[in-house]
Amino acid sequence: MDSQGLAFAGAARQAELVREGEVSPRELVDLCLERIEALEPRLNAFRVVWAERARAEADQAGSRVRAGEERPLLGVPVAVKDNVDVAGEVTTHGTGAFVTPAREDSEVVKRLRAAGAVIVGKTLLPEFALWPSTQSATWGATVNPWNPDYGPCGSSGGSGTAVAAGLVGLAHATDGGGSIRAPAAACALFGLKPQRGRVSLLPDLEHWKGLSVYGAVTRTVADTALYLDAVAGPVPGGNGEPSPPSPSRSFTEAAATAPGRLRIAVSTRTAVPQEKVDPQVRRALDDTAALLRSLGHDVREQDPDFGPRPLITLFGPRYLRGAREDYDRAERPKVLERRVRGLVRLAAVAPEPVLARARRDAEAWTQQLLRLWDDYDVLLQPTMPRLPDRLNEQEGYGTLRMMGTSGRYVAYTSPWNITGQPAAAVPAGWSAEGLPLSVQVVGRPNDEETLLSLAAQIERERPWADRLPPLA
């Protein structure tokens, strides 16, 4: 395998090649670092890269390989989003407002290390992960490797660009309203928002009041399955986090197993207000529905029952209070963007009684939506109603305009952060501009297995990972 093939092989295949002795961890990490050095000035995906530390960890991984150790990600270079702690490093949350290094790794970083992964650096995000675009006053704008005139969406845009450009085979990402799925959609990647509580958020146990989850963006479905097998599961002893039932098999096994005949509902309906869908996005949805019919699935048009209530009344209080709590932890709050400080001021409209009511109302709303899964196994929707944002498209936007723009991007993704159930972005072709298109598949609660199985079936029938972006 040549160097480009190795760089774009994906984390699961890279791990396999390390186990088989076809490539050493040091060779793999050196390749990753060489590509970062060459492409990062054009892409701006990383906030920091630890080259020497990564080489030392790769050498240690090589010793473990030679000793016969087996770990799922042994020697595989990965990146983490810069809103989780890595010991000894400042967690900037996409801002310049923090200066004190973290004392210890967050739980997800500990689990990646335990799985043998080599963490090469931290990826960029917008301030406090608040927007579905990746740009900030402190760190600048991240470029989409498919078209340099566009961004990779957000908030996990640095992770999306890093994986899409073959800088790493896997990157950690977070999702409080679509921040895994939107970058995956913009970068021709697979992005699964797991069930709430599947991956520990420790030490930030209730980020955005239960909206946020941890996952990854990856080139293949198998990569995400391997990642989940490595990092999912409750913290021993319990810590008050939700703990969903364990899957019936490994996620890797689920991704490798055909899904059987599924009942699939197709819809372009959003919660109030209804979003207009770009014709190219609609074509990708229709093409995917036709593909699934041809594979024997029972595919029918059926809308979820969102009811008449505007989504912002359920999502907004948790989002605003989450932003306020992040702001309160900032050491240099005055350096934050004006639109972020404006958003934080809006949190005054969501005092504790308003927040509590929004969470109570969300429970009834969730049960209303889940009636769809009495008759269907999966919901198929667009991931985003429009194409990815242009580079710096939101430059200069104020708080309210930024909130309005963001709401349109996450119209299809954010409801499932409220309900907590798993949902995934699956590549679905390319637009006339050469930009990736994507569809979202939503599963019943605790059922990542069906989504992985179905997405892998789509991947086999309509491969996406063999097409490389121009900036690669």
DSSP letter at 415?
Answer: H
Residue 179 appears among annotated catalytic residues: yes
Q: Is 79 helix (H, G, I), strand (E, B) or coil?
A: strand
Give, rounded to a whole angstrom, the gap between the first and last alpha carbons of the chain.
17
Name the active-site residue from 133, 136, 179, 212. Answer: 179
Query: Which of 235-243's residues contact partners 24+ apart within 8 Å by CB, and which partners?
Result: 235/107, 235/200, 235/202, 239/200, 239/202, 239/205, 240/205, 241/197, 241/200, 241/201, 241/202, 241/205, 242/196, 242/197, 242/420, 243/197
Q: Which of 164, 238, 241, 253 is nearest to 195 (CA)?
A: 241
User: Beta strands of 247-403 (E only): which ranges?
Assistant: 263-266, 298-301, 378-382
Query: How remote is the C-alpha of 97 from its chain's centroid?
Result: 24
The continuous run of DSSP H or E covering 428 comes out as strand 423-430
Burial (CB < 10 A; 0-12, 13-18, 19+), residue 53, is middle
Name the active-site residue from 24, 106, 155, 414. Answer: 155
Name the active-site residue from 24, 81, 122, 212. Answer: 81
The residues carrying an active-site annotation are 81, 155, 179
